[in-house]
Chain A
Amino acid sequence: MDGLETQFDETIAADQRIEPRDWMPEAYRKTLIRQIAQHAHSEIIGMQPEGNWILRAPSLRRKAILLAKVQDEAGHGMYLYAAAETLGVDREELTEKLIESKQKYSSIFNYPTLTYADIGVIGWLVDGAAICNQVPLCRCSYGPYARAMIRICKEESFHQRQGYELLLAMVNGTDAQREMVQESTNRWWWPSLMMFGPPDADSPNTQQSMAWGIKRHTNDELRQRFVDMTVPQAAALGITLPDPGLVWNEERSAHDYTEPDWTEFKAVIAGSGPCNAQRIAHRRRAHESGSWVREAAVAYAEKQAAKQEAAA
């Protein structure tokens, strides 16, 4: 037991990866299951706000792009459930926990997509924030999670660029279209900042996660990186970020910005965001009405296997 723990500590200290069949502390395993499941659920629930616009996207090109993006998010969910399963949980069990609200997903997906500009802003800000969070996870100490993140990050860049391109088209359009982009940015800015999680002082698990090499940067470090990246992108669109406190700080070589409303964040996490109930109800409906398909596929597979056995 002691020898195993020493081996684990040495592997982490040497910045080597932990693999599924290695011994690991129970708390490490639990932390990873919680984080990876939460991440997988976010990808799956995240299909809903964007899926809402596939039929209404204004051209075949935009429909095809949005469809491909939403399909990617389903794929991301699958990579992540597969990574979680290497830790000894079952995907079915995780889905059940999601629809019983026993596990969480990112608070951002509890906000509604009210206009088509939201599709552009989600690609730009929400996928942009996701990229900031996810790039360091490619070096996570748990091998299967890190490898899933590498695949995901390769695909995310298309997500962000399609969103930004869509916004460029809109800001170069009519006044009404420019206003739509500004209004959408105003709504998504604060929830996007919340995607990095609570401020460091209020994030008790960060230290342990960093010691284990699961996390590489604190929430506030990543949030700062996102703000600094986004400011010139907003300028190029001719869009104002809705924070009068957002100014360049020469001394810190970084932007000062206003913290989002953390009371709202906590309320949304706790279940009272604008769309929490709708998102879970939809996921439950999809899961339950798909059950006959899953059962039929098993019945068919069993029948085929029996036939083959009889023929052999």
Chain B
Amino acid sequence: MTKKNWPLYEVFVRGKRGLNHVHVGSLHAADDEMALHNARDVYTRRNEGVSIWVVRADHITASSPGEKDPFFAPAGDKVYRHPTFYAIPEDVPHL
């Protein structure tokens, strides 16, 4: 029998209500359901999450580091997106 390895899944966990799912690591499983079960056993043995996403690693499209600069460049010159861009007098409250 030819050996077929279980595919790789990336695991994302929502720590608690109100937070985003965050990438915590990866694991191997034969199918989606097993991936969820394994993710629960490997990554949430101490109630680290209230919800888990598993995604086949080969279904993820990522930016490549080689094109890093041009890819993220549009954000680079838009400092006005950040609150610290704006000078506000110190004595104005709640800003």
Contacts and interface: CB of A to CB of B under 8 A. Distances in A.
A102 interface: no
Nearest to A77: B42
A71 B46 CA distance: 12
B5 interface: yes
Given A75-B42, A297-B34, A82 B5 contact: no
A298 B30 contact: yes
A305 to B, nearest CB: 8
Instruction: Point out which of B1, B25, B42 has the most chain A C-beta atoms below 10 A from its C-beta.
Output: B25
B5 A92 contact: yes
A82 B4 contact: no
A72 B45 contact: yes
A82 B25 contact: yes
Contact of B31 (A91, A92, A301): A301
Given A79-B25, A148-B25, A21 B64 contact: yes
Interface in A3-47: 19, 21-23
A114 B13 CA distance: 41
B26 A85 contact: yes
Contacts of A22: 65
Contact count band on A: 20 to 34
A91 B28 contact: yes
A23 B25 contact: no
Interface in A31-82: 71-72, 75, 78-79, 82
Nearest to A79: B25
Contacts of A148: 25
A297 B30 contact: yes
A79 B4 contact: no
A304 interface: yes
Given A21-B65, A85-B8, A78 B27 contact: yes
Given A75-B45, A82-B25, A304-B31, A297 B65 contact: no
Given A21-B62, A75-B45, A148-B25, A294 B6 contact: yes
Interface of B: 1, 3-6, 8, 24-28, 30-31, 34, 41-42, 45-46, 62, 64-65
Closest 9 CB pairs of A and B: A297-B30, A301-B31, A301-B30, A82-B26, A82-B25, A21-B65, A78-B42, A298-B4, A22-B65
16 contacts: A21-B64, A23-B65, A75-B45, A78-B27, A78-B42, A83-B25, A92-B3, A144-B25, A151-B25, A155-B46, A295-B1, A297-B6, A297-B34, A300-B31, A301-B30, A305-B31
